[in-house]
Amino acid sequence: MCGITGLAGAGAAGDRAVVRDLVRRASAAIAHRGPDGQGEWVPAEDPVALGHRRLAVIDLSDAAAQPMLDPSGRAVVTFNGEIYNFRELRAALEARGHVFRTRSDTEVLLTGCREWGAAGVAGRAVGMFAFAYVDLDAGLLWLVRDRFGEKPLYWYCAEGTLAFASELKALVDMPAFPRAVDPAAVADVVARGCVSQQRTIYQGVHQVPPGSALGFHLSPSMAAEAGTRVTYWDAAAEAREAMGRPFPGSLQDAVAAVHAELDRSVRTASVSDVPVGAFLSGGVDSSLVTASMQAQAGASVKSFTIGFEDARLDETRHAYEVARALGTEHTTWTLGTADVLSVVPTLAGMYDEPFGDSSQVATHLVARLAREHVTVALSGDGGDELFAGYNRHTLAPRLSRRLSRIPRPARTLAARALLRTHPDWWDAFPRPGAHRSPTGALGARMQKVASVLDFRDPDDLYGRLTAAASHAALLATPATSTPPLAGDLPLTAAIMLADVQGYLRDDILVKVDRAAMATSLETRVPLLDPAVYRLAWSLPEHYKVQGSRGKLVLRALLSEYLDPALFERPKMGFAMPVAEWLRGPLRTWAEDLLSPPALAESGWLDAAAVRSLWTAHLTRRADHAHALWNVLMLQAWLGRWGWAG
């Protein structure tokens, strides 16, 4: 995994030393993505330049450095990510007469671009990647991104200059960078804690869509309108096609099929010339990926988890029991308040768009722990979206079916009554036989239930389930809405697909990429393999969901490795007790960002509404941690990057 930068057109057409320095400085801004080397390619005459920061993972020799040119010197690639099936692609290319100079997947990608085209090789590649490919003979620049958007790629075109980079911080000093903040992106952050991949925080700056290749004709004055988009893979189309060819076997057959595909995916995702480990929270997905790794490894897999000093919130003992049962070499870090306080002020720089998923802190710290021992870590992300693991996948259909029979005014009255109930009352309410939940979890959950009771339709229900309550009241600008659900699919499937196209891309994958790459750790996600994806969508819903339980097929598979008592428990992941920390060790930091002068300076929020929310949270009248964290991350980002409303 690496960092890439580049520009074309007016900004790349001047003095070559100046252009080289511009690319070098842009690459330096993302040096954390590639501490093992840097490189620039600035041709003598053509109006284009590429930069690269290297994290050496496959073929550690200098011969695999980037940007990489083909033997003719007329084709070049700069590449971030890994092609897991590069050996198979290399064999196919060798059969066509191509000769290779290195053992790297980069050279396979470059040669594949020459043989099949940029979109063609992307469609054949299995992995996570974002790359730029220049074909000087054809006069073309291609920007390409992997199927799910695991690897980021931003670009803009203004005043004749087209520039691109792995992170926005590498673009802000490029020529003609558009600095206006997009109000719709601000609304995204306040509502859902992240910016939709349909846009970026800046007006006029874009993301290459997942599963797409954007082609531009090289010119001394670039124009975005002259670009071409090729969609080589589409999540919705693939899901519908798989559902149209339903899996024919029993649940046991499905477990065996998932087992085989996951083992294959884990095996290919484990290929590396540097040490590889795994994140292990003890949940179903991370345990399953780690179990598959360990079953196929010749030695103990290195696994990592973090916990908290507060015993009520600490999950390290559980993760340790899973690790012991699997036989991994397990490392734990129990976090203190100082560890968290050291990270929170850095988040606005780490995530160079506002980002409000509070598990970003723990994710960064577990990545920091892993990086002390390995260069690559596998994670269990994607299991919830593909196999119905979120509460909303089971809750939304039941709510829609049952509550739609009750008149909406009656539901509104019930919601108001629930909202008047102090959240601490729910947490103190005795629940014999219930699994232990984090402090404040039930109260927050009941507030969430209250916020959705008077939904209008399935689209409104999904929007409320995925947004912070009362977010619209916090904005000085109009709120945005979630895209409509797929009306041709059953509600559970429609929500799962919306999560793949929204929450997974916009939140989960962004969180893991930035949190891990800030420590120069490469992360890989075996569950987001195209064959696993197709298989998951071909399975009947009752192989995934039964009543309030999701991920049935994954649970059945994991029970082949572990006693179910080790994983049949509430979902935790690397969660952070943000509600209590905002009232305690993070209170001063938050108060500074939410002070009336700070809110007035930013200009994007309704100061009175925010202060009211903050006061209610501090006095425990309600748990507004979700909404407040979104607001705090927006305020911190505005302060870090200096853009006001």
Q: What does DSSP say about strands 68-69 and 37-41: parallel, antiparallel, or unpaired?
A: unpaired
113 annotated active-site: no
Structure token pair of residue 209: 């869509």
Omega into 67 within 30° of 0, i.e. cis?
Answer: yes
| C-alpha span between 194 and 192 (Å, rounded) | 6
Check: CB of residue 467 under 8 Å from CB of residue 482: yes
- Which residues have a Cβ under 8 Å from the Cβ of 3 and sit 6 or more positions away? 27, 30, 31, 32, 33, 34, 52, 53, 80, 165, 166, 167, 170, 517
Tell me how far CA of residue 300 lies from CA of 135, 277, 327, 607, in angstroms: 45, 10, 6, 53
CA of residue 410 relative to chain centroid, distance: 39
| C-alpha span between 568 and 345 (Å, rounded) | 36
| C-alpha span between 333 and 489 (Å, rounded) | 43
| DSSP 3-state of 524 | strand
306 is in an annotated binding site: yes
Q: Quick one: 618 exposed, middle or buried, by C-beta within 10 A (0-12, 13-18, 19+)?
A: middle
| C-alpha span between 541 and 79 (Å, rounded) | 38
383 is in an annotated binding site: no
User: Residue 231 corresponds to which amino acid?
Assistant: T
| C-alpha span between 382 and 500 (Å, rounded) | 8
Got the DSSP string for 209-222? PTTEEEEEE--SS-
Check: CB of residue 468 under 8 Å from CB of residue 627: yes
Structure token pair of residue 86: 């590069």
Structure token pair of residue 156: 């803009």
- Which residues have a Cβ under 8 Å from the Cβ of 187 and sit 6 or more positions away? 475, 477, 478, 479, 480
The rounded radius of gyration (Å) of the Cα atoms in the chain is 24
58 is in an annotated binding site: no
CA of residue 242 relative to chain centroid, distance: 24
Q: What does DSSP say about strands 302-308 and 329-335: parallel, antiparallel, or unpaired?
A: parallel
| Selected catalytic residue, list 2, 113, 157, 194 | 2
Task: Specify the length of the chain in residues.
Answer: 645
Within 465-548, strands assigned E span 522-524
* Residue in this structure with the two tokens 């006001």, named with its chain if needed: 644
Within 125-236, strands assigned E span 127-135, 140-145, 154-158, 161-165, 205-207, 212-217, 228-231
Helix, strand, coil abundance in the chain, percent, nearest 5: 50, 15, 35
| DSSP 3-state of 417 | helix
| C-alpha span between 215 and 218 (Å, rounded) | 10
Got the DSSP string for 278-295? EE--SSHHHHHHHHHHHH
- DSSP class of residue 435? P
Structure token pair of residue 643: 């853009």
30 is in an annotated binding site: no
User: Which residues face 76 on adjacent strands?
Assistant: 69, 134
User: Catalytic residue positions?
Assistant: 2
List residues forming the annotated binding site for ATP.
306, 379-380
List residues forming the annotated binding site for L-glutamine.
105
